[in-house]
């Protein structure tokens, strides 16, 4: 898989593409090639003739959906809608709003919602201690909180970077 080049050996991916400009130790030119290689090496485990795993449905490996995998978009949206109306959600949104507006008014044009959220987690942890049963700040909804704040607060429009929701 190596060719003699002007500077010595040129590493090549299994598909034949050169690995120019890749990190030292790279073996594949793309994620697709890496996944194709993995599939070839694990073909026996993925075949229908492999011993049936108790967690695998009768249809075989390609029909497996693990409980810990991505949740459906509507499930997460429903969970968020319930949480944001709860006392914890209202308090968390208010504190996140206050911190974001403080930064905006201090001259910041963009900031990370995760950084703000983790600063709130830190402050809560210091305040209540490790054994307290106080409010827990799970970061499951930070992207949705960012969208909600930018929608409700004209001053915060475009303040947080957001990507397409995955679930």
Is residue 33 very low, low, confident or very high in pLDDT (cuts 50, 70, 90)? Answer: confident
- Residue that wins the pLDDT comparison between 138 and 23: 138
Q: Residue-wise over 37-58: b if at least 16 C-beta within 10 A, else e?
A: eeeeeeeeeeeeeeeeeeeeee
Residue 3: strand, helix, or coil: strand
The answer for 129, left when phi > 0, alpha when psi is -120 to 50, beta otherwise, is left
Q: Are 56 and 64 in contact (CB under 8 A)?
A: yes
Residue 127 has pLDDT above 70, yes or no: yes
Answer yes or no: are the C-beta atoms of 128 and 160 closer than 8 Å: no
Contact 99, 119 (CB under 8 A): yes
Residue 144 has pLDDT above 50, yes or no: yes
Say which residues have a Cβ less than 8 Å from residue 6's Cβ, sequence separation at least 6: none
Per-chain mean pLDDT for the chain: 74
Which tens digit of pLDDT belongs to each residue from 41-70?
656 554 444 444 433 344 444 433 334 445
Cα three-residue angle 147-76-109, rounded to 5 degrees: 15
Indicate if the alpha-carbon torsion angle 76, 78, 81, 87 is positive or negative.
negative
pTM > 0.75: no
pLDDT at 102 over 80: yes
More confident residue, 120 or 34: 120
Distances (CA, A) of 24 to 5, 13, 20, 57, 94: 17, 13, 10, 40, 47
């Amino acid at each position: 898989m190596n060719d003699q080049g002007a500077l010595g050996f040129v590493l090549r991916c299994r598909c034949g593409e050169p690995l120019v400009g890749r990190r030292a130790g790279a073996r594949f030119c793309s994620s697709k090639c890496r996944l194709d290689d993995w599939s070839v090496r694990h073909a026996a485990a993925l075949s229908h003739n492999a011993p049936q795993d108790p967690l695998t449905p009768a249809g075989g490996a390609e029909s497996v959906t693990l409980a810990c995998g991505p949740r459906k978009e509507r499930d997460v949206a429903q969970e968020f809608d319930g949480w944001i109306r709860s006392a914890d959600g209202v308090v968390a949104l208010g504190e996140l709003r206050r911190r974001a507006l403080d930064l905006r008014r201090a001259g910041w044009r963009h900031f990370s919602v995760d950084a703000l959220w983790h600063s709130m987690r830190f402050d809560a942890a210091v305040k209540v201690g490790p054994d307290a049963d106080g409010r827990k700040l799970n970061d499951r909804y930070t992207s949705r909180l960012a969208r909600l704040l930018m929608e409700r607060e004209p001053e915060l429009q475009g303040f947080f970077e957001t990507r397409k929701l995955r679930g």
